[in-house]
């Protein structure tokens, strides 16, 4: 029996593998990657490496075994046929008879276009008959704190979220929840709504940035149309800019506030405060 993590070279996947290694022997962990060179260090530590690609179904033939627990991390190619990519993994997992397939989805409350692929994947997973766990991950701190250069350049947090709030958490927090499900018992056919313990507004985010940098960072709330224009002007492709602005519209409606407590309960600890993630982002 293996615990198999797809997309293991991604930001979230790497966190999951590292945290798994704190709980189980390395030879019980399989990291699925497209480029094995990027995980040479994991191979040296005894992690099994499997090379496969969501876009090449044949690469998943025989990859899973009966009794495996699989974490399907959603593909990063927004705008492509992500549901089709994910079904490749679901079909291979069903053929092998895995014990559990956990999927990183989006909050059930999210109606933005970004959630459409997740809803389609959830439908395919439920129809497959596989034992499943839906990890409906909320927003990541790192969506805001990993690229602070434009904010610091213009001394402004520009958004279309109005006074809406976000209960985000760190990737490490969401990884801890995934590891708890993959290494624990009784998670079959469960849905977890995952979000940080504390919801915050973009105005509060700007204020915390101001406090930590000693600069006056403005809260620059604009319309969704204006945000699309700003993003495309900065080089973001228009279809993706529309998706990002759509997320802000969902934030304004309260759709990214997740108050179930599932994340801290699964992780066994409080979620990472936003201020801590900002501090890490400023140091990077």
28: alpha, beta or left? (left if phi > 0; alpha if psi -120 to 50): alpha
Q: What is the mean pLDDT of residues 197-205?
A: 98
Sheet with 3-5, strands from edge to edge, namely 48-51, 29-33, 3-5, 69-72, 100-105, 132-137, 190-194
- List, in sequence order, every residue forming a beta bridge with 210; answer none if it has no partner: none
Question: pLDDT band at 76, cuts 50/70/90?
Answer: confident
Q: What is the pTM of this model?
A: 0.96
Question: pLDDT band at 78, cuts 50/70/90?
Answer: low
Q: How far apart are CA 215 and CA 236, in angstroms?
A: 27
Query: Can you state the angle between helices 274-283 and 202-213, rounded to 10 degrees?
Result: 50
Q: How far apart are CA 71 and CA 183, in angstroms?
A: 11
Q: Using the structure block, give the residue that is written with the tokens 């709504």.
A: 193
Q: Using the structure block, give the residue that is written with the tokens 């620059």.
A: 220
Q: How far apart are CA 81 and CA 266, in angstroms?
A: 31
pLDDT at 3: 98
pLDDT at 198: 97
Query: What's the pLDDT tens digit per position in 112-152?
Result: 988 999 999 999 999 999 999 999 999 999 999 998 999 99
**Whose CA is closest to 28, among 67, 65, 60, 1?**
1
**SS3 sequence of 59-81:** HHCCCCCCCCEEEECCCCCECEC
Q: Kindly list the distances between the CA atom of residue 261 and the CA atoms of 146, 163, 196, in Å, as whole numbers in the listed order.
A: 25, 23, 8
Query: What's the pLDDT tens digit per position in 211-229?
Result: 999 999 999 999 999 999 9
pLDDT at 121: 97
Find all residues with CB under 8 Å of 212, minimum gap 6, and list them: 275, 278, 279, 282
């Amino acid at each position: 029996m293996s615990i198999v993590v797809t997309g293991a070279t991604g930001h979230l996947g790497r966190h999951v593998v590292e945290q798994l290694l704190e709980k189980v022997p390395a030879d019980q962990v399989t990291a699925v990657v497209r480029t094995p060179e990027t995980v040479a260090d994991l191979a040296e530590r005894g992690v099994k490496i499997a090379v496969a690609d969501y876009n090449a179904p044949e690469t998943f033939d025989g990859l899973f075994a009966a009794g495996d627990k699989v974490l399907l991390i959603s593909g990063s190619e927004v705008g492509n046929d992500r549901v089709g990519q994910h079904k490749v993994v679901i079909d291979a997992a069903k053929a092998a008879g895995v014990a559990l397939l956990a999927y990183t989805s989006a909050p059930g409350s999210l109606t933005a276009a970004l959630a459409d692929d997740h809803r389609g994947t959830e439908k395919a997973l439920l129809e497959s008959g596989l034992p499943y766990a839906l990890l409906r991950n909320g927003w990541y701190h790192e969506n805001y704190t990993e690229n602070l250069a434009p904010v610091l350049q213009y001394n402004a947090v520009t958004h279309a979220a109005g006074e809406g709030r976000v209960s985000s958490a760190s990737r490490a927090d969401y990884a801890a929840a995934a590891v708890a499900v993959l290494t624990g018992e009784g998670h079959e056919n469960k849905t977890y709504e995952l979000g940080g313990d504390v919801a915050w507004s973009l105005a509060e985010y700007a204020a915390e940035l101001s406090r930590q940098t000693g600069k006056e960072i403005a809260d620059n709330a604009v319309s969704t149309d204006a945000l699309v224009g700003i993003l495309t002007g900065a080089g973001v492709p228009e279809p993706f800019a529309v998706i990002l602005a759509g997320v802000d519209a969902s934030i304004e409606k309260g759709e990214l506030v997740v108050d179930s407590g599932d994340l801290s309960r699964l992780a066994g600890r409080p979620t990472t405060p936003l201020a801590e993630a900002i501090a890490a982002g400023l140091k990077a």
